[in-house]
Amino acid sequence: MTSGVLNLVLKRLAIAVVTLLIVLFAVFFATSMLPGDTASILLGQAATPEAVAGLREAMHLNDPAILRFLRWLLGLLHGDLGTSYANEMPVAALIGGRFVNTMELAGITTLLSVPLALTLGITAAMLRGSLYDRTVTILAIGVISVPEFMVATLAVLLFAVYLKWLPALSSVNEAHTLTDLVRIYAMPVITLTFVISAQMIRMTRAAVIETLSTPYVEMALLKGASRGRMVLKHALPNALGPIVNAVALSLSYLVGGVIIVETIFNYPGIAKLMVDAVATRDLPLIQSCAMIFCLGYLLLITIADIIAIMSNPRLR
Amino acid sequence: MTMARVAASQRSLLGHSYNLVGVVASLVILAWTLIAIFAPTIIPHSIGDIVDDDYFGPMRQGLWLGSDYLGRDMLSRVLMGARYTVGISLASVCIACFSGVVLGMIAAVTGGWLDTCLSRFLDAMNSIPSKLFGLVVVAAVGSSIPALILTLAVIYIPGAYRFARALAVNINTMDFMTVARVRGESTAYLIGSEILPNIMRPVLADFGLRFVFIVLLLSGLSFLGLGLQPPLADWGALVRENIGGLPFAAPAVIVPSLAIASLTISVNLLIDNLPQKIRDRDA
């Protein structure tokens, strides 16, 4: 690795940090724009004006917004996420267990969708133009074109209503045996896998097709290499960078998908927590959840960009 | 092969050849547009009227798409839903693309610090996941129709900006741009008369794609209960309020989902089947 690549990667990381700051700033201000005074919401309608003023003072609500933002940021660095308005619990305690649940869901989905999507994407690219390729492409376009909740609804209809294999709702607390566990995770994971794989298949297929149309692959074909050898030995190693990039980029769609999937299946993760927080207008909780999601998303697209830089042989 | 050739022989008024898929897709889009415009005059029942004794009624004569969770006519509700889904999405995509494209062209033509600042800021906005952005903003400004339109537009401005800027930067290096500059033309003339005509077609294709994203996001928000509020109902809200019918596979859940899918898939297919001449400029 030369200093050129290192520079580009460092630059990309710096951009990621700046972006994160802008995002935090945006989240903080969007949530402080919420109508209604926080102190009067907390104290209820019967509160005296003196009590409201006292609480405003105690919560530093009279300070300029930029000062409150800096204080919030400092709290974050100390691991202090604030206190939920709705039930007076520390946000960190509310998020803790649910974060693990969401990561489990995301992890299992990744383990399933990556091999599935890569196999389908690469084989579709190899058999470009065949009936198989067209079926895979059309299915992928179909899944991308419909909302996530529709994929979820169809999955419930198929597996829970017609086939009666799985329950429609999740409840992690009731899992006692391995079969219970499989039955609980099945519906959310199936839905998410569909959504993520569709993106990944399209991107992988495009990356491999691009490599297959390069002169050196044509050369391999002309010298009489078999189709399998041409793809595995000549095309794939060169398509690896774009493919890994496509995987990281597709996984960032998990962020949007998980919000819908956790809500529809009543899965106790942070996305469900956040949707509920938006409904009850619970500021600190919304801020922290939004921050976690943005962090995850930013991490994935930054990784994707860095891989794209590193895999470009012209920069090496 | 012969199929493709027969399909390709159909010529449109624009002089481009369209294939069969593209024609069918545009017919579906046209149909939904007409429904969105004329919905109030063609619905068989008022959307608030309870016309069925049973809830989640099946499809039958008179109630062609069954009834919803209160026994209201589903056909009327879906037709009226088209108004909100298509109308709100179209309004936001117009605002998003207009602002994004104008800003993008200005940034490309002026360059310098304006370009750098705009690009940095909008790229940062772009890296907030759209659903999350929607959730936070809806929490802040509520979900009235104008607020929804603006929220959706703001979320998709950065994408439109990035796309238009990339195209405009290429045009900006052409000789005719140098000539126009030497002539002393204003920025408004440069972007309106020199750049815009040259990037129009890929921008229109991008407009279609962004429309699909907005329809999906709006439906997603409404499905979460954070989009359009009752008594108004777009397609996403219709799925949400009838989700209780899912265990009986009631048409009330399936039909609005299919309506969304038919619209978004048609737009995607239309763009995919546009003549190469239009599509390939976006590279």
Q: What is the pLDDT of residues A86-140, one digit of tens each?
A: 677 777 778 888 888 888 888 889 899 999 999 999 889 888 888 999 899 888 8
| Residue B9 reports pLDDT greater than 60 | no
| Least confidently predicted of A68-77, A119-128, A261-270 | A68-77
In chain B, what are the helix, strand and coil shares in percent, each to the nearest 5?
75, 5, 25
A220 CA: distance to closest CA in chain B (Å): 28
Lowest mean pLDDT: which of A29-38, A281-290, B130-139?
A29-38
Q: CB A278 to CB B246 under 8 A?
A: no
Nearest to A161 among B223, B249, B264 (CB): B249
Domain annotation covers residue B115? yes
Asked whether the CA dihedral A279, A284, A288, A290 is positive or negative, the reply is positive
Give pLDDT, residue A247: 84
Option in B139, B224, B260 nearest A150 (CB): B260
B223 inside domain: yes
> What was the pLDDT predicted at B10?
45
Q: What is the mean pLDDT of residues B145-167?
A: 90
**Which range, of A61-75, A186-200, B16-30, averages the lowest pLDDT?**
A61-75
Contact (Cβ atoms closer than 8 angstroms) between residue A108 and residue A185: yes
Contact (CB<8Å) A162/B249: yes
Of the ranges A54-58, A94-98, B213-217, the best mean pLDDT one: B213-217
Distance from CA of A284 to the nearest CA of B (A): 12
Contact A147 B260 (CB under 8 A): yes
Q: What's the CATH code of the domain at B107?
A: 1.10.3720.10
For residue B130, being part of any structural domain is answered with yes
Six token digits for residue A134: 């067209």
ipTM of the complex: 0.76
Measure CB to CB from residue B264 to each of A146, A161, A162 and give the nearest one: A146
Tell which residue, A4, A1, A2, A11, has the closest CA to residue A305: A11
Q: Is 80 exceeded by the pLDDT of residue B18? A: no
B236 phi and psi angles, rounded to 5 deg: -65, -40
**Predicted pLDDT of residue A180:** 66
The two three-digit tokens of residue B102, written as one number: 């104008």
> Could you tell me the residue range of the domain that residue B114 belongs to?
13-277
d(C-alpha B175, C-alpha B181), whole Å: 10
Q: Which of B139, B240, B210, B223 lies closest to A260, judged by CA? A: B223
B55 token code pair:
């809830």
The CA dihedral of A204, A207, A208, A212, to the nearest 10 degrees, is 170
Tokens of A76: 């974050």
Of A22, A141, A153, the CB nearest to B124: A22
Provide the residue count of chain A.
316
Contacts of A27 in chain B (CB under 8 A): 136
Q: Inform me whether the pLDDT recorded for A171 exceeds 70.
A: no
One-letter amino acid identity for B181? R
Rounded to a whole number, what is the distance in Å from the CA of B124 to chain A's nearest CA? 5
Rounded distance between C-alpha atoms, residue B238 and residue B222, angstroms: 9
Checking if the pLDDT of B236 tops 80, the result is yes
Q: Percentage of chain B surpassing pLDDT 90? A: 16
B151 found inside a domain: yes
pLDDT score, position B214: 92
Search chain A and give the residue with CA nearest B138.
A278
Q: To the nearest whole percent, how much of chain A has pLDDT over 90? A: 3
Residues B116-138: pLDDT tens digits? 888 888 887 777 788 888 887 88
CB A263 within 8 A of CB A275: yes
Q: Does the beta-carbon distance from A290 to B135 stay under 8 Å?
A: yes
B224 occurs within a structural domain: yes
In sequence order, the β-bridge partners of residue B11 are: B17
- A141 with B140: Cβ contact below 8 A: no
What tens digit of pLDDT does each residue of B73-119 get? 888 888 888 889 999 999 999 999 999 999 999 998 888 888 888 88
**Which of B131, B162, B212, B242 to mutate: most A Cβ within 10 Å?**
B131
Report pTM: 0.81
pLDDT at B2: 39
More confident residue, B275 or A185: A185
> According to the model, what pLDDT value does residue B1 have?
36
CB-closest option in B130, B135, B140 to A275: B135
pLDDT higher at A79 or A235: A235
Residue A170 has pLDDT above 60, yes or no: no
pLDDT at B281 over 60: no
Rounded percentage of chain A residues whose pLDDT exceeds 70: 81
Query: What single DSSP character describes residue B57?
Result: P
Which residue among B120, B139, B246 sits closest to A278, beta carbon to beta carbon?
B139
- The pair of structure tokens assigned to B91 is 């309004």
Alpha carbons within 13 A on the beta-carbon side of A193: 20
B137 chain-A contacts, CB cut-off 8 A: 30
In a domain, B200, yes or no: yes
Contact A270, A288 (CB under 8 A): no
Flag whether B248 is in a domain: yes
Q: Which residue has the higher pLDDT, B100 or A68?
A: B100
Mean pLDDT of chain B: 81
- CA dihedral sign of residues B207, B210, B212, B218: negative
Number of domains forming the structure of chain B: 1
Mean pLDDT (whole number) for A77-83: 72
pLDDT number for residue B127: 74
Q: Is the pLDDT of residue A85 over 80?
A: no
For an interface test with B, give the residue of A278, A287, A291, A300 to mutate (most B CBs within 10 A).
Answer: A278
* Chain B environment of A19 (Cβ under 8 Å): 123-124, 127
Chain A residues inside the 8 Å CB shell of B216 = 146-147
Nearest to B137 among A30, A141, A156 (CB): A30
CA distance B207 to chain A (A): 15
Q: Do B268 and A141 touch (CB under 8 A)?
A: yes
Identify whether B222 is part of a domain: yes
